[in-house]
Amino acid sequence: MKFVIFDDEKRDNFYPLTLTRSTGDLRSGVLKLRQRILSYLDQDETNVVISKDLENIYKERHPDWNVNLITNEDTIFINSRLRINDELLKMIRNLSNNTCLKKESAIIAARCKPENNEMDSNDLKNIFKDMKAENLADAELWDYTWELIDHNKQMIKKDFIDFFYERDNNFQADPGVTIINPYNVWLGDKTEIAPGVIINAKQGPVIIDENAKIMENSIIMGPVFIGKKTVVKCGTKIYEGTSIGPVCKVGGEVEETIFQAYSNKQHDGFLGHSYLGEWVNIGAGTSNSDLKNNYQNVKSYLYPNGELVDTGLKFLGTIIGDHTKTAINTTINTGTVIGVACKLFGNTMLNNIIHSFVWGDVNNKYRLDKFFETAAIVKHRRGLGITANEKDLYTKVHKSVFDQ
């Protein structure tokens, strides 16, 4: 039996984050959506069907994966947006051939023996269309980025129980470190925690992964996840519901926020109820609002609709795409969505929607050659480079913004 994780047309709902990645590579809790599904399946092999525009970059980054390549054998396809649980796992494993599980119009999972050996996510509708369907009204799928933020506390707690509670724990703290409820704390190998740090896991677990460094006088209030090689700067305040991916630098005040990876918010300033992609840099003093003064629901921009929609949430900060930078003292309004590859500065509060490749304020275009120049410098600082496939992907995004 082969298992394949696929993206569907709802990928657009997660723009700008999914302009540069598969839906399955969005983080929620400790794990990415794809990782959690594969962990439930107990699968080491990774097979994905994704959008054609992401194919080359994924093949380059993951040469050991099967990307948009399907073998002619018994296969179960699973939607990357699925909120997997034991009951759904059992139903998926017991699927009959040429049968699918649906919630309304969305395919949750499907079993068949496909004929094609190369396909992308647009081809899947033809494979699934004639299958016998069973509708599951109670199954849950992620539909919007703000849901990932809103449920992040619960997902950290779930991942701690499912994947960390019984793992070997390198629990070791120097004198001067205060840990409240240590049984709810998991420390990876070679983690550094300096004197004066307070870790309070009374309200939820704190997971600090390998080679992470927590500097003096920082306060961490669980549930919180801090990824590998991430540095938490002196005096940082990290509140519940925060997930910080690998190789990030974080300072100031952070609450209920997800960092994908390789992003920095090193300085004072508030970041709350937000989601940052990769290679984002938040300038000193940058702060966002996450609650409206009238306490009404926050509206946020949804790309497929091309307008602001009611999120149903009282708290929502900002969603920022990959490679975007903010200057010192930037102010970001409640629910603001900022695209990829922006370099933002000026005296105006950022509001509602800032499309990709904006320079300075919303009226100026960020030149593609200048963006590549900066991106190459930024990635070189982490021992990485910007490849031809990355340039091709960002060129397509740039074209989609300015050739309309």
How far apart CA 311 and CA 299 sit, in angstroms, is: 6
Query: Smallest Cα–Cα separation from 148: which of 224, 243, 246?
Result: 243
| % residues pLDDT > 90 (the chain) | 89
What rounded mean pLDDT belongs to the chain?
Answer: 95
Residue 119: count other Cβ atoms within 10 Å of its Cβ. 18
Give the domains, in start order, of the chain with CATH numbers: 2-141 (3.90.550), 147-402 (2.160.10.10)
Q: What is the pLDDT of residue 260?
A: 98
The rounded percent of the chain whose pLDDT value lies above 70 is 99
**pTM, two decimal places:** 0.96
| pLDDT band at 404; cut points 50, 70, 90 | low
Check residues 169 and 46 and name the one with the higher pLDDT.
46
pLDDT in tens, 112-129: 998 878 899 999 988 998
Mean pLDDT of 32-49: 95
**Model pLDDT, residue 236:** 98
Binned at pLDDT 50, 70 and 90, residue 249 comes out as very high
Q: Does the pLDDT of residue 165 top 90, yes or no? A: no
CA distances from residue 290 to 142, 147, 149, 168, 299 in whole angstroms, order as listed: 21, 14, 12, 37, 11
Q: Tokens at residue 133, please?
A: 């369907």
Confidence class for position 139, pLDDT limits 50, 70, 90 = very high
